[in-house]
């Protein structure tokens, strides 16, 4: 979809590109849900997990909005039924599929890494020898001003030196032996990054001691620690949860390899070099346990950067005039304190990045913990998947599942069905997934954001009905005025929904960008000067956040490029050419980075596609830049 949007952009910037064609182009949105997810069936977010339980933090504004969404979606579904078409995507079957997948994932790992003891066994061990004094001591890390809890650091190691040496040695031998390499199922394959499942190490190695140590670390340290530090944020009744490992991965970030081609392009600066790391994402489970495997003296950079670390920046920039981000005031990525074996733990649903390792090698072991709910809790809400994880899975599977969403048609020919009704069905299906995610976790800002964008897609799909009626005489039972009314309602709803998303995830640059983009769609419907001011301030806040993430060492990739392009396009449409040039020039480091990556990339079709898509977008931005420069000369 993005590709089509981008390619139509190119026509507008033919050398003679006129203002008229410029105006008629829809800007493109980034909106890649998948890009935020750790692995293929991976994960998402919640918020507000401080002392207040997120489960009860509903507010009436959100409830009223959800009610309007629900009724608008039902009306559009009956519109399709009246026209002889039915969509097949039922809430019950969606939730059932999500739940079945969670069971499979949790059970797959259980053979190598044990789940937590059940509740009865835990109770008896607390009354005998296992008490809270064996839980590693730890401290909370918060943002300075907003005092937002971010993560915990252990003050004692949770893995011993011998086990760590075994893990690293074993991983190293797998990475060095092509014949042992299991096919990668990881998302972030980039130069200098290595990953291997802990379960593969354990199965391939025959060290009984190491295996026992890892199992003991889980049972005696990790599960009790997670229960104590995060229990009340995860469920009303934490006793109803039984933790287990959903996945565990050993990761190596090798900065030297990541930077090998640094000199192949003249003028590639240190900043344009990507380094080894992972972009902003969420993990699928409940809690991520990030264990340091080598000494901090062996590398520079690196660490885990939490999206919410920028809350202080937002707070400060609301009182600051200039748009530049002061690099010195940015928080540093978080790292475990002490040496190897120490850990950093955070909610998997909190968006975070592996900050770029710029020198040396950084090795970590990440345990992704999930849980199932015990039988007593099940009566209440039927599924054993904890709500947080339900929301995460709904968000991350929506797009892929809804592509397959079926349409039953009784009176239309096949071509009309696939060209018009299928995209509508698929966008409505996505809205249902995101709506269910919000139902599970009402404060899930990302689900609100994705819902807002799904409604936008429905609105755009309805535009195709108008075109089809005008151009090829499509017969509709209801008149076009009904479709136009739906469209207006959907735009207004999307704006309110994105405003809601902003409250819950204020540091997510994508939400500011998407809101600016949707507001731009309302041009003509609303008061122009007022709306222009809002569009600009939303775009520039998105720019500010992307830049801050980048300066903190996070790879912001295509999301930042999209903001540059769309903001530039908006400014060009408003005849603010010199401002547009200033914004669009920021595409240059991305262009260099992508050229470099294209030369280095490992041959993986999915990666290639993503890179090509980003390359296309950068080219559009460069073409637009030349166009704006010509207007100024
Ligand atoms: O590099 C890091 O610390 C982040 C690792 C991470 O987020 C992950 O593997 O999911
Ligand atoms: Fe992660």
Proportion of the chain in helix, strand, coil states, percent, rounded to 5: 60, 15, 25
CB hemisphere CA count around 132 (13 angstroms): 6
Which residue's alpha carbon is at the smallest distance from atom 9 of ligand 1?
A: 366
Measured distance CA(164)–CA(169) in Å, rounded: 8
Instruction: Please report, to the nearest 10 degrees, the dihedral formed by the alpha carbons of residues 67, 69, 75, 79 taken in order.
Output: -170
Nearest residue to 33 via CA among 68, 2, 69: 2
Pocket residue to mutate for ligand 1, from 304, 333, 334, 348, most atoms within 8 A of Cβ: 304
Lining residues, ligand 1, CB within 6 Å: 38, 251, 278, 283, 290, 304, 352, 354, 364, 366
3-state helix/strand/coil string of 298-311:
HEEECCEEEHHHHH
Q: Spell out the alpha helix ranges (H) of 273-374.
A: 311-317
pLDDT of 435: 95
Ligand closest in space to the Cα of 186 = 1
Which of ligand 1's atoms lies nearest the C-alpha of 355? 1
Point out the residues of the chain with pLDDT beneath 70.
1-60, 109-111, 125-133, 178-189, 259-273, 318-328, 375-382, 409-418, 523-527, 600-606
* Residue 241, C-beta contacts closer than 8 angstroms, at least 6 positions apart: 227, 231, 234, 235, 371, 372, 373, 374, 386
Placement of tokens 């039927």 in the chain:
382
H or E segment and range at residue 357: strand 352-373
The interaxial angle of helices 445-472 and 60-82, nearest 10 deg, is 30
Is the ipTM beyond the 0.95 threshold? Answer: yes
In ligand 1, the atom with minimum distance to the C-alpha of 368 is 10
**Cβ atoms of 277 and 187 closer than 8 Å:** no
CB neighbour class for 187 (10 Å; exposed up to 12, middle 13-18, buried from 19) = buried
Q: Which atom of ligand 1 is nearest to the CA of 362?
A: 1
Domain architecture of the chain: domains with CATH? 1-14+25-40+508-633 (no CATH), 43-89+386-505 (1.20.120), 105-373 (2.60.120.620)
For ligand 1, atom 3: residue with the closest CA: 304
**Ligand 2 ion: nearby residues, β-carbon < 5 Å:** 283
> 364 C-alpha vs ligand 2 centroid, how far in Å?
11
Distance CA 448, CA 508 (A): 12
284 CA → ligand 1 middle, Å:
12
Cα three-residue angle 327-330-332, rounded to 5 degrees: 120
Query: CA 517, CA 520: separation in Å to the nearest integer?
Result: 5
**Alpha carbon separation from 457 to 97, 453, 491 (Å, rounded):** 24, 6, 10
Ligand having the closest approach to the CA of 367: 1
| pLDDT for res 544 | 95
């Amino acid at each position: 979809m993005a590709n089509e949007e981008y390619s139509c952009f190119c026509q507008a910037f033919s050398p003679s590109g006129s203002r008229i064609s410029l105006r008629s182009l829809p800007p493109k949105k980034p909106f890649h849900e998948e890009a935020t997810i750790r692995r293929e069936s991976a994960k998402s977010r919640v918020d507000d997990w401080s002392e207040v339980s997120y489960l009860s933090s509903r507010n009436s504004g959100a409830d009223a909005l959800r009610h309007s969404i629900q009724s608008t979606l039902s009306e559009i579904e009956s519109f399709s039924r009246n026209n002889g078409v039915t969509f097949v995507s039922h809430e019950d079957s969606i939730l059932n599929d999500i739940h079945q997948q969670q069971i499979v994932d949790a059970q797959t790992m259980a053979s190598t890494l044990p789940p937590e003891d059940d509740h009865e066994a835990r109770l008896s061990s607390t009354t005998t020898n296992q008490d809270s004094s064996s839980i590693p001591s730890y401290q909370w890390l918060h943002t300075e001003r907003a005092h937002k809890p971010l993560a915990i650091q252990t003050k004692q190691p949770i893995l011993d030196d011998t086990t760590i040496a075994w893990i690293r040695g074993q991983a190293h031998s797998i990475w060095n032996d092509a014949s042992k390499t299991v096919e990668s199922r990881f998302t972030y394959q980039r130069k200098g990054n290595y990953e291997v499942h802990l379960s593969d190490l354990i199965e391939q190695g025959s060290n009984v001691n190491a295996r026992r140590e890892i199992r003991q670390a889980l049972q005696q340290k990790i599960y009790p620690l997670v229960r104590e530090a995060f229990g009340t944020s995860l469920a009303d009744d934490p006793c109803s949860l039984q933790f287990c490992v959903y996945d565990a991965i050993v990761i190596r970030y090798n900065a030297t390899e990541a930077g090998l081609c640094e000199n192949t392009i003249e003028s590639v600066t240190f900043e344009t070099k990507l380094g080894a790391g992972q972009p902003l994402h969420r993990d699928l489970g409940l809690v991520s346990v990030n264990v340091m495997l080598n000494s901090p003296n062996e590398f520079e950079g690196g660490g885990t950067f939490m999206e919410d670390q920028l809350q202080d920046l937002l707070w400060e920039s609301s009182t600051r005039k200039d748009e530049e981000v002061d690099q010195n005031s940015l928080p540093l990525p978080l790292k475990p304190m002490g040496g190897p074996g120490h850990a950093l733990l955070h909610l998997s649903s909190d968006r975070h990045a592996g900050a770029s390792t710029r020198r040396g090698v950084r090795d970590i072991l990440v345990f992704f913990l999930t849980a199932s709910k015990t039988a007593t809790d099940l009566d209440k809400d039927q599924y054993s998947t904890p709500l947080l994880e339900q929301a995460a899975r709904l968000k991350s599977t929506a797009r892929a599942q809804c592509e397959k969403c079926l349409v039953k048609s009784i009176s239309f020919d096949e071509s009309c069905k696939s060209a018009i009704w299928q995209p509508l069905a698929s966008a409505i299906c996505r809205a249902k997934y995101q709506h269910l995610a919000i139902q599970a976790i009402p404060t899930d800002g990302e689900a609100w954001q994705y819902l807002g964008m799904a409604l936008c897609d429905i609105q755009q799909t309805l535009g195709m009905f108008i075109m089809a009626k005008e151009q090829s005489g499509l017969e509709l039972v209801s008149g076009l005025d009904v479709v136009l009314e739906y469209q207006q309602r959907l735009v207004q709803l999307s704006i309110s929904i994105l405003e809601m998303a902003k409250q819950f995830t204020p540091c997510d640059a994508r939400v500011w960008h998407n809101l600016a983009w949707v507001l731009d769609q309302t041009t003509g419907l609303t008061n122009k000067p007022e709306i222009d001011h809002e569009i600009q301030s939303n775009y520039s806040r998105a720019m500010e956040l992307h830049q801050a993430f980048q300066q903190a060492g996070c790879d912001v990739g295509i999301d930042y490029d999209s903001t540059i392009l769309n903001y530039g396009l908006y400014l060009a449409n408003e005849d603010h050419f010199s401002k547009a040039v200033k914004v669009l020039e920021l595409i240059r480091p991305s262009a260099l980075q992508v050229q470099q990556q294209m030369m280095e990339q490992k041959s993986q079709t999915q990666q290639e596609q993503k890179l090509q898509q980003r390359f296309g977008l950068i080219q559009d931005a460069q073409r637009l830049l030349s166009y704006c420069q010509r207007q100024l000369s």
